[in-house]
Amino acid sequence: MLCLRELQRWKPVLCRYGNTGVRSFAVAADEAGRTEGGLVNMENPYREPQKGCVLCDVTVDFKNIQLLSQFISPHTGRIYGRHITRLCGRKQKEVSKAIKKAQSMGFMSVTHKHPQFMKDPNICGIKHLD
Amino acid sequence: MPRYELALILKQMQRPETAAALRRTVETLMERGALVRDLENLGERQLPYRMTKHNQRHSRGTYFLVDFYAAPSMLAGVLDHLHRDVDVVRPTLLKKDAQVPNSNCCGPQK
């Protein structure tokens, strides 16, 4: 308890110099966008085109259980997380909701993956020790 | 009127009985003022898990999809009727939303 109070007293002293890590990079530029030293204001020429996720132009439906089964574990039937499927936020949510909907409506199994879909290509970045 | 979708699972029956059950369902819908737009047969297949309904254990069933326009006030009555029907294993009513345009999805802009 006492050391907490001491730390609170010390805090303003330690931060007296403010946030020294941040520096401003404002450089004086003229009308044509050129600066001293010949720099031109332009967007990054080495910028790569934005890559989309696997389901970018694909509509996700609860009836399409073959597609949905690609995002569940073949052993337990659990839905893979975002770090495994590598889908964007919107598509991950859609897939997750569609799987739960299909399971509750009696279209898709909960505890396992349909044996018919076991040979499907592996989209998710997970390797099973089979 | 808003658009709804009925995912119907009928129990494993002979063809004339399945047809009669479907006819009954669609007539119920139309009596209550729905406008049936489409009826799809998704085939007879093994259910993903065994379902118990009306004191019977079902492992196979026929899947149907009924698209219709209806007033929201009649949906509760329709669902109640379907739950009481002995031939229906699992009725599920869903609202059909307008397709969200995929143009603002992540990925290369065309």
Q: State how far residue B102 is from chain A, nearest Cα, in angstroms.
A: 6
Give the SS3 label for residue A11.
helix
The pTM assigned to this predicted structure is: 0.79
Measured distance CA(B18)–CA(B62) in Å, rounded = 9
Q: Is residue A94 part of a domain?
A: yes
Q: Is residue A69 part of a domain?
A: yes
- Joined together, the tokens standing for residue B20 give 């009669």
Is A106 within 8 Å of B90 when comparing Cβ atoms? yes
The answer, for B48 touching chain A at a CB cutoff of 8 Å, is yes
Domain of A87, CATH number, reads 4.10.640
Is B108 within 8 Å of A63 when comparing Cβ atoms? no
pLDDT band at A3 (very low <50, low <70, confident <90, very high): low
Is B48 within 8 Å of A49 when comparing Cβ atoms? no
Q: How much is the pLDDT for A53?
A: 85
Measured distance CA(B76)–CA(B60) in Å, rounded = 27
Is A107 within 8 Å of B90 when comparing Cβ atoms? no
Q: Is residue A90 part of a domain?
A: yes
Q: Is residue A38 part of a domain?
A: no
In this prediction the ipTM stands at 0.89
Measured distance CA(A84)–CA(A62) in Å, rounded = 21
How many structural domains comprise chain A? 1
pLDDT band at A129 (very low <50, low <70, confident <90, very high): confident
The answer, for B6 touching chain A at a CB cutoff of 8 Å, is no
Q: Kindly report the CA angle at A117 between B57 and A115, in degrees rounded to 5?
A: 45
Residue in B closest to A54 by C-alpha? B107
The answer, for B63 touching chain A at a CB cutoff of 8 Å, is yes
Q: Is residue A43 part of a domain?
A: no
Q: Is residue A86 part of a domain?
A: yes
Q: State how far residue B41 is from chain A, nearest Cα, in angstroms.
A: 12
The answer, for B79 touching chain A at a CB cutoff of 8 Å, is no
Q: Express each pLDDT in B73-90 by its tens digit.
A: 999 999 999 999 999 999
Q: Is residue A41 part of a domain?
A: no
CA atoms within 13 A on the CB side of A126: 16
Residue in B closest to A58 by C-alpha? B102
Q: Which residue has the higher pLDDT, A30 or B23?
A: B23
Range of the domain at A78: 65-117
Q: What is the mean pLDDT of chain A?
A: 82
Q: How much is the pLDDT for A50?
A: 84
Q: Express each pLDDT in B47-76 by its tens digit.
A: 999 999 999 999 999 999 999 999 999 999
- Joined together, the tokens standing for residue B53 give 């309904």
Is the pLDDT assigned to residue B14 strictly greater than 90? Answer: yes
Run of H or E residues at B86: none
Is B107 within 8 Å of A114 when comparing Cβ atoms? no
Run of H or E residues at A73: none
Q: What is the mean pLDDT of chain B?
A: 90
Q: Is residue A125 part of a domain?
A: no
Strand partners, B53: B56
Is A57 within 8 Å of B49 when comparing Cβ atoms? no
Give Cα separations from A107 to B49, B59, B64 (angstroms): 9, 12, 11
